[in-house]
């Protein structure tokens, strides 16, 4: 149990567990994308930490871009309404795209993003999510690379937030009630 700004956080996955799994995912992506024109698309803000660490673990030339979408606001549950707040800058035409997500729960945000990315005519699109809440799935999305399957709890840390706080935790934790 840790405390941050007076709030109690129960550690679910340690910093070391996350580092080890990100390195494994990086090796797998390196192997799968040898000789291909890879671009990582990160979902802001949550996936920024994971995407940077994953990119460092991939031993290939690659490009990176970001999209920002909103579906949570300051709540602990997805509203189900997804809106783009920052679109892509790079051309995806003919490129192999790896969408990098921090967490997938309902899949609604990801499904919406995949429709937008598909309209950019990439060669291929795969998904890499560090955390996956399979139980919550409402949209049919296939995750190609999964870091951890986690329980159906609201989590913070390693890029994930509650009302923009707790992203800086180096581990994944459950924010406990006061």
Alpha helices in 33-142 (DSSP H): 48-57, 108-118
Q: In the CATH hierarchy, which fold is given to the domain comprising 15-164?
A: Rossmann fold (3.40.50)
Tokens, residue 71: 């579906």
Ordered by start, the domain boundaries in the chain are 15-164
157: left (phi over 0), alpha (psi -120 to 50) or beta: left
Mean pLDDT (10-residue bins), the chain, 178 residues: 69 97 98 96 93 98 91 54 81 95 89 90 97 84 95 92 90 88
Q: How far is residue 112's CA from residue 110's CA, in Å, rounded to a whole number?
A: 5
User: What was the pLDDT predicted at 84?
Assistant: 82
**Catalytic center residues:** 105
User: Tokens in use for 144?
Assistant: 């190609």
From 40, 42, 106, 98, select the one nearest 72 (Cα to Cα): 106
Report the predicted TM-score, pTM, of the whole model to 2 decimal places: 0.88
């Amino acid at each position: 149990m840790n405390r941050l700004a007076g709030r109690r956080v129960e550690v679910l996955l340690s910093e070391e567990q996350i580092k080890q799994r990100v390195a494994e995912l990086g090796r797998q992506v390196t192997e799968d994308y040898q000789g291909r024109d890879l671009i990582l698309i990160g979902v802001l803000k949550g996936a920024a930490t994971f995407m940077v660490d994953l990119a460092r673990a991939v031993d290939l030339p690659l490009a990176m871009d970001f999209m920002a979408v909103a579906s949570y606001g300051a709540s602990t549950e997805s509203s189900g309404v997804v809106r783009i707040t920052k679109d892509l800058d790079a051309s995806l035409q003919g490129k192999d795209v790896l969408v990098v997500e921090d967490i997938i729960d309902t899949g609604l945000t990801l499904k919406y993003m995949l429709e937008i990315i598909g309209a950019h005519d990439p060669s291929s699109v795969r998904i890499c999510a560090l955390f996956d809440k399979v139980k919550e799935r409402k949209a049919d999305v296939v995750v190609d690379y999964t870091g951890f399957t986690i329980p159906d709890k609201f989590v913070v840390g390693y890029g994930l937030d509650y009302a923009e706080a707790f992203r800086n935790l180096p581990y994944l934790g459950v924010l406990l009630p006061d």
